[in-house]
Structure 1
Amino acid sequence: MFRSCSITLAACLAFAVTSIQAAPNSFEAAKVMARQQVYHDRTTQGTFYCGCRWQWTGRSGGRVDLDSCGYQVRAQDQRAQRIEWEHIVPASLFGQQRQCWQQGGRSNCSRNDPLFNIMEADLHNLTPAIGEVNADRSNYRFAMLPDTPYRHGACPFKVEFSQRAAEPRDEVKGMIARTYFYMHDRYNLRLSDQQERLLMAWDNRHTPSSWELERNQRISRLMGHANPFVDGQRQWLKGHRNLAEGLQAHQAVSQNSSLANNGPVIGNRRSQVYHLPQGCPGYQQVSPQNQVHFASEAEALAQGYRRAGNCR
């Protein structure tokens, strides 16, 4: 059953704000945290799509033991040798639903959209995968591909480039579904009917494994909230309405930050750039006739404005 807030909206929002402040604030920070505190003891349990063992290298990387799972390089030898951090829900999927992506892609979102950075660093959506498989999966939709051959030796992962579709091994289909439900519910993303039907089937057929439950607990301790579709607090049903707790928390943090800085966010209606009261040299330089005031940075972003490039 769905679990809604049983106290007050203010209490729910306070809890959400605490969660967002506890989470890593960048993709780089999330990778290091995931290695050190989530997957530190999982190297012999296997990579996400193929089940290959690996050894940690550097701050957040790893070197894959390809022989441990019968992996065969398809095309990219260097990427096949290394661990990369896969966004189960691709960054482009949630990025393209943000204004920043339309105005300059991922790099623009990373520079100018704090909420994109929060989504990109969400530990519930990150898992170690072989780099070549991460590349081949790309941002393709998930699908059932009964007639598609395996392309990576004994790795039970299928990709159909002509259809821009991929099918993972059965062992992770349920986790993929519940991660999609979490990301779409938390950040109010749109999910196609076709993908929803498939993921609901995977969710019903493949219940959480002991590792998925343990992973959820580990990440919950780091981020301040669990994936409610893993621990049974919520269930995704047809016609699901997103709670968008991640958006609410971000807006509350942004508004509190603006109020603490003793001034509104000022936008320039001509350049579509906004300035914060602290850390932005141009804050006092926008001519009065071009000024647009926002209560928070999130409001400015929602109106299609981007942060000034000289803000610190």
Structure 2
Amino acid sequence: MKLFLLLFTIPFLLNAASFSKSKKDLLKKVYYDNQITFYCSNPYEIKDDNGKQKALIIKDEKYYSPRKPFYKSGKVNTRAERIEWEHVMPAHNFGRHLQCWRDGGRKACKSDKTFNEMEADMHNLVPAIGEINGDRSNYRYGANNPIKEQYGNCEFQVDFKGKRAYVKEDIRGDIARIYFYMSDKYKVNLSKQERKMMEVWNKLDPISDWERIKNKRVEKL
């Protein structure tokens, strides 16, 4: 009986949605030949650090300059140097539709199978500079063009007061198609205003060759 339970459990664990596994697969099996950040087009590279692989940006001011180069303590802002996997549709957006989120937010959803699947969905994850990922938070995208000041030459802007993020034109279609995918698959409602904006973005920024390649790789995995 114990052997049967073990054999039953192993495949379940291997197939269970995992955010950490998705991040590793994206790094090694999806973006391995297109190591460029989503918002800033900043190249990055994988470096070995005491046996652990880290994805770090190649520092170049023509792509990006940190908004805050140092923490309040005076130490270097390491999030401005590393790659993180950003949820294009924030976890707050897709999570708040679930009972577990209403009961206690992201922490309460850790054991929820549906949330884990959504959180780990590689179609909704893109490589972003850590500082950008942190600043964007769970803010919605805005229709305005970004002002290139906040992050140097990076065409990305966060309106902290208005809780909006503004992005460059050549990724707007990517964002729209990700939003439509998440909305369709997980029944996440989009507001009329948001849907209308995404429909416009989808038309103005058609799917690229890289987007097709990425989608096929993710689908295969």
Residue of structure 2 in register with 1:71 after alignment: 64
The one-letter code of the counterpart of 1:86 is: E
Compared CA separation, residues 160 and 64, structure 1 to 2 (3 A): same
* Distance of 1:147 and 1:56 partners within structure 2: 29
Residue of structure 2 in register with 1:95 after alignment: 95
Structure 1, gaps ≥5 residues long: 1-20, 223-312
> Could you list the per-position Cα deviations for residues 80-133 of structure 1 after superposition, in whole angstroms to 9, with x for gaps in the alignment?
1000000111111111111101111111101x3111000000011111110001
Coordinate RMSD, CA, aligned? 2.1
> Could you list the per-position Cα deviations for residues 115-154 of structure 1 after superposition, in whole angstroms to 9, with x for gaps in the alignment?
1000000011111110001111111111122485530000
Residue of structure 1 in register with 2:28 after alignment: 36
Compared CA separation, residues 31 and 64, structure 1 to 2 (3 A): same
Contact preservation (8 Å) 1:84, 1:130: yes
The one-letter code of the counterpart of 1:27 is: F
The one-letter code of the counterpart of 1:32 is: K
SS of match in other structure, 2:109: helix
Q: Point out which structure has higher relative CO (alpha carbons under 8 A, 6+ apart).
A: 2
Compared CA separation, residues 163 and 122, structure 1 to 2 (3 A): same
Residue of structure 1 in register with 2:104 after alignment: 104
* Distance of 1:135 and 1:217 partners within structure 2: 28
* Distance of 2:116 and 2:196 partners within structure 1: 29
Q: CA deviation at 1:23?
A: 6.4
Compared CA separation, residues 149 and 54, structure 1 to 2 (3 A): closer
Compared CA separation, residues 24 and 81, structure 1 to 2 (3 A): farther
Compared CA separation, residues 22 and 42, structure 1 to 2 (3 A): farther
Residue of structure 2 in register with 1:195 after alignment: 194
Q: Number of residue pairs matched?
A: 200
Contact preservation (8 Å) 1:81, 1:130: yes
SS of match in other structure, 1:86: strand
SS of match in other structure, 1:67: coil
* Distance of 2:159 and 2:123 partners within structure 1: 26
Q: CA deviation at 1:35?
A: 1.1
SS of match in other structure, 1:62: strand
Larger radius of gyration: 1
Contact preservation (8 Å) 1:145, 1:167: yes
Q: Which one is further off, 142-151 or 192-201?
A: 142-151
SS of match in other structure, 1:127: strand
Q: How does 1:13-162 map to 2 (within 5 A)?
A: 25-43=17-35, 46-57=36-47, 61-67=54-60, 69-75=62-68, 77-110=77-110, 112-146=111-145, 148=147, 150-162=149-161
* Distance of 2:146 and 2:217 partners within structure 1: 38
* Distance of 1:78 and 1:84 partners within structure 2: 11
Compared CA separation, residues 41 and 22, structure 1 to 2 (3 A): farther
* Distance of 1:38 and 1:173 partners within structure 2: 20
Contact preservation (8 Å) 1:61, 1:84: no
Q: Percent identity?
A: 40
Compared CA separation, residues 147 and 38, structure 1 to 2 (3 A): closer
The one-letter code of the counterpart of 2:21 is: A
The one-letter code of the counterpart of 2:94 is: F
Counterpart check, 1:170 vs 2:169 = yes
Compared CA separation, residues 194 and 160, structure 1 to 2 (3 A): same
SS of match in other structure, 2:84: strand
Residue of structure 1 in register with 2:72 after alignment: none
SS of match in other structure, 1:52: coil
